[in-house]
Structure formats: C-alpha cells, structure tokens
Amino acid sequence: MDIKEYIGSGIIEAYAVGALSEAESQELEKMAAAHPEIKEVLEKAQKTLEDLSRAYAINPKPEWKNKILKAAFDKDSAKTSRINKAPKKYFSPWLVAVSIALIASLGINVTQHQSVERYEDKLLKLNLRISELEQDQQIMVTNYQLLEKNLEILRDPNTAIFAMKGVTNRDSNLRADVYWNASNQKVYLDVKKLPAPPPDKDYQLWALKDGQPIDMGVFRMLTEANTLLEVGEVPEAEAFAVTLEPKGGSVSPNLEEMYVYGTPLRAL
C-alpha cells in the first residue's frame, strides 16, 4: 500500500472528527501502529482539532446544527463503505457536516474575537482619556487652591505691597513685587519680568531698613504665572531690591548689579 496515498485520502481527518465506522477506525488504528508516518499525521490531526476546539468552542444554536446536518444528509444518504486495499477518498456527509460546523464555528468566533479586540482597544483609549482628564482636573484643583491662597494674602489688610521696578541703568519694564505681612512678618515674592540669570549667577532679594540691607536669600525663577514665592520673614522693611550675585548669594548686595527696587505702594 502506498503510505502517502493512504495519508492523502482524507481517512485520517475523517477518523479525527469521528466520521469513520468502528471497523474503519480499527483498521486505521492498526495502520497507525504499523506505520510511524501514519501515526504522526494522526496525532497532529487530533491535536489540531483539540486546539481548535479549545480556542474557538461556542454553544451554537440548536437550529444551526439541525440545518447543517439536514443539508448534508439530503445531498447524499449513501452509507460509507469499508476500507479497501486501495484507499478511497473520505468525503462522507457526516464529515462534510462536521467540517461545515467547524468552519462556521471558526468564522463566528474569529468575528467575535475581532470585535472583542476592537472594543478592548476602544475601552483602553477611553480609560487613558479618563486618566488624562483626572490629571487635568487635579492640576486645575491645585491651581485653584494656589490662586485662592494668593488672593487671601493680597486681600489681607496687614499685607503691604512693594512694587519693585527696573532701576535707572536697567530696562524700565523689569518688575518684581513683594508682599510683606506685618502680622506674621512673612515675605512673598512675585517675579513679573526679570531676565534669566547666567549659569554662574543667582538673583538675591534684599530688604532695606534704615539704609541697611537684610539678606532674604537667593530665589529661583518661576515659570508659573501668578505664583507667589514665600522667601522668608523680616520684622520690618522700608524697601526691597533684587541684585544679581555670584552663585549661592552674597553677604552684602552688589549695588552695580541691582535690577529692581521698590518702596511700599500701600502703607499699613
């Protein structure tokens, strides 16, 4: 017997889907035991069907099964014959019905799988958008709380405003304001317009009292608009000024590097 012709006859696939008679099945099992090539193909066919069954198993509607079987058996009601020495082609009505059912199952499940993937992708994008909106909302809440705090400082009747403007040898549009609260002695800085300092320099704030400078420390340039920077405390001040000093600040101001200076707009 030609082993390749036997394998190609379709009998192994028919056995795998249960379309052979008991005698035909026993004959195939004997052939598989005697010929490793047949056994290997049979095992692969069985495993393939098992994998497909697990991956794409569904519960079809009862009427689908009845229609498929009826369509198959109406076309050919002849019984399958036993295996001859020259292997025949196995296209029995039952094998056709099973194949149609399997194909239908695969088609339905592939479509369902694709739909699930599409909706999962949409859900993922929606969740990401929700996360972005939540982050935006948190930023808005933080900004609102910050503005509310700034407004509370500005409205406090104990707060004096020092509007520091560009000095004579500087750009007259330079501006930085100081808010000093007499009750808690806290100092808040609002940088409106100052050029970015060189890498080896820092801006330093000074409070002036009786002509003597009081170091209020160096400060970083803020990029946020309408942001008040708390820089420290001072018991009293007649004016404030900003100078450009070496990195880390100086013990006394370099008056040649003064950028802005201001006295109170609103005295207490």
Per the structure, the count of domains in the chain is: 2
On whether residue 151 sits in a domain, the answer given is no
Does one domain contain both 186 and 96?
Answer: no
pLDDT over 70, % of the chain: 70
On whether residue 224 sits in a domain, the answer given is yes
Q: What pLDDT does 85 receive?
A: 44
Which pLDDT tens digit goes with each residue over 43-70? 887 777 676 556 545 555 555 455 545 5
Task: Examine the fold and report which residue of 78, 113, 148 is the final residue of a domain before the chain moves on.
Answer: 113
Does one domain contain both 65 and 167?
Answer: no
**pLDDT confidence band for 258 (50 / 70 / 90):** very high
Does one domain contain both 85 and 167?
Answer: no
Domain that holds residue 21: 3-113
**pLDDT confidence band for 94 (50 / 70 / 90):** very low
Supply the DSSP string of the chain, one letter for each residue. --HHHHHTTTHHHHHHTT-S-HHHHHHHHHHHHH-HHHHHHHHHHHHHHHHHHHHH-----HHHHHHHHHHHHHH--PPPPPPPSSPPP---HHHHHHHHHHHHHHHHHHHHHHHHHHHHHHHHHHHHHHHHHHHHHHHHHHHHHHHHHHHHHHH-TTEEEEEEEE-TTS-TT-EEEEEEETTT-EEEEEEEE-PPPPTTEEEEEEEEETTEEEEEEEEPPP-STT--EEEEE-S--SEEEEEEEETT--SS--GGGEEEEE-EEE--
